Amino acid sequence: MQNLLKKALLPYSLGKKSLIIEKEIKSWSNDLHLKIRADGKAYSARFLKEDRSPNNVFGEMNADILYEQTEFCRHLFDQQIPFMKLVSDSEGNPFTEIKWAEKVYYFILFEWIEGKHFTLGDQFISREFGKMARTFHEVSNPFTSSVFTKKSHLVGYEEFIGKLRDKIRISNISANNITMVDHYISIAEEHIELARNEEMDFIIQSDLNPLNVLWDEKRKIIGIVDFESIGYDDRIEGLAWLIKWYSRTEGIHSSEMSPVLAEAFLQGYGADDFLDEKDYKRLASLVWLSGCMNWNFVKDTVSILENNDSELLKSHIDFYKQRGKKLLSLIPKALL
């Protein structure tokens, strides 16, 4: 890995005096993400592959998209958003391509931001990040692109449902198990129809989860540190993911959520400025989908179906049905 990094840093004229890999950062993707120290300064160094994800629903990447994402990163930084500062190579290129062990990577470098993660929610954190998210979205909106695709997350959810139906069709699964999955899919499809919207004209970073946000000791936001989920989106879809993340009371991997924290986030964001009754109903369905028709649910369901285990399947689906009720309770205005 050290030799790969040395080769990648040659166009940057970095690492000639000293080069240390301080840690490898785990990710949902197939990226190799490192914290490094080159010539005494800390950087975030990432090697990206085009096949970044075990599923390709939300993980598309190519050179044109990556270049546009770097332009958006610079736009945010120039607008005083505490976003990672991109480091260009000696010729001004925002990233480089490198071949290693018969594989081609995009290599991209940012200045490292040191700070704390707050993954246990409270009203202050939720409200403060709501304010930041509103500023982030307002600053993002004027940025235009002819490269980013306009793909709703609903398309991804429909593709996930297709994967489940394909699994049922080609597998020897009991009628009882098929009924359980079909019933759950019908609930998801109802939420997809309630959430449907044809306008995808809002540039957004759709992965502003607490692990991508850095705070100082006084609980002030000092850094936003991820970039690869930048693209056109529906603003309310983006809010749904933020509500799911910033309403959790016991950490990012917990399913315990609080309507009080969700309301604190929405207050900080100033959601009542532009959301009406119909929007709140859409928002509730989008929150449900974000937590109950995601890749983890699909992956685990497929695995259980392969074993045709009725008891485990029932327990699995019951858990997600209960989770869905908790998620819907985060948007009480949708029930009015």
Distance CA 155, CA 298 (A): 15
**pLDDT in the model for residue 318:** 97
Given a cut of 80, whether residue 51 has pLDDT beyond it is no
| pLDDT tens readout for residues 76-98 | 999 999 999 999 999 999 999 99
User: Considering only 174-188, 219-233, 245-259, which range has the smallest mean pLDDT?
Assistant: 219-233
Calculate mean pLDDT across residues 293-302: 94
DSSP 274: T
DSSP 273: G
Identify the bridge partners of residue 233 per DSSP, sorted by sequence position: 202
List CB contacts of 197: < 8 A, sequence separation 6 or more: 152, 234, 236, 282
168, 178 Cβ separation under 8 angstroms: yes
**pLDDT in the model for residue 251:** 83
**pLDDT in the model for residue 52:** 66
Given a cut of 80, whether residue 312 has pLDDT beyond it is yes
Q: Bigger pLDDT: 51 or 113? A: 113
Give the best-scoring range by mean pLDDT among 21-30, 70-79, 147-156, 202-211. Answer: 70-79
| pLDDT tens readout for residues 160-180 | 999 999 998 888 888 888 999
Structure tokens at 64: 């044109």
Calculate mean pLDDT across residues 218-230: 87
Give the best-scoring range by mean pLDDT among 22-31, 124-133, 204-213. Answer: 124-133
Calculate mean pLDDT across residues 187-201: 88
Given a cut of 90, whether residue 152 has pLDDT beyond it is no
**pLDDT in the model for residue 53:** 61
Q: Bigger pLDDT: 10 or 170? A: 10
| pLDDT tens readout for residues 200-211 | 666 666 688 999
**pLDDT in the model for residue 333:** 83
Q: Bigger pLDDT: 196 or 149? A: 196
Structure tokens at 181: 């999955």
**pLDDT in the model for residue 173:** 84
Helix (H, G, I), strand (E, B) or coil at 129: helix
Instruction: State how beta strands 230-233 and 202-205 pair.
Output: antiparallel
**pLDDT in the model for residue 87:** 97
Calculate mean pLDDT across residues 123-141: 93
Report the mean per-residue pLDDT for the chain.
90
Nearest CA to 30 out of 52, 45, 46, 50 is that of 52
Distance CA 291, CA 245 (A): 10
All domains in the chain, ordered by first residue:
2-111 (3.30.200.20), 123-335 (3.90.1200.10)
Structure tokens at 173: 């699964």
Using a pLDDT cut of 70, give the percent of the chain over it: 93
| Helix (H) or strand (E) run with residue 134 in it | helix 123-140
**pLDDT in the model for residue 247:** 95
Given a cut of 60, whether residue 330 has pLDDT beyond it is yes
**pLDDT in the model for residue 316:** 97
Given a cut of 70, whether residue 287 has pLDDT beyond it is yes
Given a cut of 80, whether residue 68 has pLDDT beyond it is yes
**pLDDT in the model for residue 289:** 97
User: Considering only 3-12, 149-158, 267-276, which range has the smallest mean pLDDT?
Assistant: 149-158
User: Considering only 151-155, 208-212, 272-276, which range has the smallest mean pLDDT?
Assistant: 151-155
CB hemisphere CA count around 322 (13 angstroms): 7
**pLDDT in the model for residue 28:** 67
